[in-house]
């Protein structure tokens, strides 16, 4: 049976183009460029909590890195290095090969070096720490929103959550509908290029991982402001739009999670610049509301009334 170090050497020891020293020693050595700040984030995916235990390992490899890249996208940072820690019930080399294929497939697209981590036996658990660079003082932050800012969101919302409800048997989707939603759930596309393009344009940003209402709420909390969004302005896939305003569809749209889109605020005078920046990286953005001084988050229905919100966002301890 292969040892821990054999498995690391076989599946995770790759040349580190952007590091002084990568995998193989007690610690990695990295050197950020002059005039750059380090942006660091970590995310954990736990079997049975964040994914089904029999999930495809290549998709898990992709998603384990993608959710971390999404955090750096929200900071307008360029990803550079990653640390990966994996707990495995057993040393299943076929599973490891698939996981590594998905992980490094995405890492190579974004120029990310795997520079360290850990492996152990235990319940299936995937933990990634991501490090990136951003010009000093130019990171997008949650506390930067200003009264009067437009609120924007990239891509579409709710499709991944709808796919999860399909897997859980809460509704049935047609085959083509299910395939599209499950692609969003299992293989999210981090908006790294959009985040970088928004540097100097947006005042605040966050990635939508736990649902729009919950994540936007973090911007409002840190900025000590409120907001109003227009339900009709939210970008939704056709499969979800056809099911609105049913409660399950509304919950997927507003609080479903797993979107990994960017929600950000920017001054109204920069609308054309925001659209141009998004167009330059091939990502659609939608203006969904505005930041106000009155605390709280309000959702305006198409008829002009306020939505009675009973959903917020994903809670890891609920």
Determine whether 3 is exposed, middle or buried from the number of CB atoms within 10 Å of its CB (0-12, 13-18, 19+).
Answer: exposed
The helix/strand/coil state of 178 is helix
Residue 50 marked in a binding site: yes
Is 26 assigned a ligand-binding role in the annotation? yes
Q: Is 142 annotated as a binding residue?
A: yes
Going by the DSSP 8-state scheme, the letter that residue 161 receives in this structure is H
Structure tokens at 99: 């996981």
Is 43 annotated to bind ligand?
yes
Is 149 annotated as a binding-site member? no
**In whole angstroms, how large is the CA radius of gyration of the chain?**
20
User: Is 308 a known ligand-binding residue?
Assistant: no
**Of 288, 146, 299, nearest to 225 (Cα)?**
146
Say whether 85 counts as a known binding-site residue. no
Query: Cα separation of 103 and 97, whole Å?
Result: 10
Q: How far is CA 273 from the centre of its chain?
A: 24
- Considering all CA atoms of the chain, what is the largest pairwise distance in Å, rounded to the nearest integer? 65
Sign of CA dihedral 233, 268, 205, 60: positive
Residue 165 marked as a ligand binder: no
Residue 222, Cβ density class (10 Å: 0-12 exposed, 13-18 middle, ≥19 buried): middle
> Is residue 314 a known part of a binding site?
yes
Number of residues that this document lists for the chain: 318
- Is 75 within 8 Å of 39 (Cβ atoms)? yes
DSSP-H helix ranges across 199-286 = 212-223, 238-241, 247-255, 271-280
Angle formed at CA 68 by CA 314 and CA 123, multiple of 5 degrees: 70
**Residues contributing to the annotated binding site for substrate:** 50, 258, 314
**Residues contributing to the annotated binding site for Mg(2+):** 26, 41, 43, 71, 118, 207, 210
**Residues contributing to the annotated binding site for ATP:** 117-118, 142, 209
**Residues contributing to the annotated binding site:** 26, 41, 43, 50, 71, 117-118, 142, 207, 209-210, 258, 314
């Amino acid at each position: 049976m292969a040892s821990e170090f054999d498995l690391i050497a076989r599946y995770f020891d790759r040349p580190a183009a952007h590091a002084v020293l990568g995998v193989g020693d007690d610690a990695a050595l990295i050197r950020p460029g002059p005039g750059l700040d380090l942006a660091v984030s970590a995310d954990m995916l736990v079997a049975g909590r964040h994914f089904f235990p029999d999930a495809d390992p290549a998709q898990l490899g992709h998603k384990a890195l993608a959710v971390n890249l999404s955090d750096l996208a929200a900071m307008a940072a360029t990803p550079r290095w990653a640390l990966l820690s994996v707990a495995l019930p057993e040393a299943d080399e076929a599973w490891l090969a698939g996981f590594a294929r998905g992980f490094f497939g995405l890492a190579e697209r974004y120029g990310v070096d795997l520079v360290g981590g850990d492996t152990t036996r235990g319940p299936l658990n995937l933990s990634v720490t991501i490090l990136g660079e951003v010009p000093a003082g130019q990171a997008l932050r949650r506390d930067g929103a200003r009264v009067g800012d437009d609120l924007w969101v990239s891509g579409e919302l709710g499709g991944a959550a709808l796919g999860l409800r399909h897997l859980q048997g809460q509704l049935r989707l047609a085959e083509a509908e299910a395939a599209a939603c499950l692609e969003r759930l299992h293989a999210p596309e981090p908006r790294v290029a959009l985040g970088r393009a928004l540097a100097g344009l947006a005042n605040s940003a966050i990635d939508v991982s736990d649902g729009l209402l919950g994540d936007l709420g973090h911007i409002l909390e840190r900025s000590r402001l409120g907001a109003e969004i227009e339900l009709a302005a939210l970008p939704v896939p056709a499969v979800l739009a056809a099911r609105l305003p049913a409660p399950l569809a509304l919950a997927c749209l507003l609080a479903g999670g797993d979107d990994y889109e960017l929600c950000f605020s920017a001054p109204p005078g920069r609308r054309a610049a925001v659209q141009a920046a998004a167009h330059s990286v091939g990502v659609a953005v939608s203006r969904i509301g505005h930041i106000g001084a009155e605390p709280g988050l309000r959702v305006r229905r198409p008829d002009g009334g306020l939505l009675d919100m009973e959903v917020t966002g994903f809670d890891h301890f609920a």
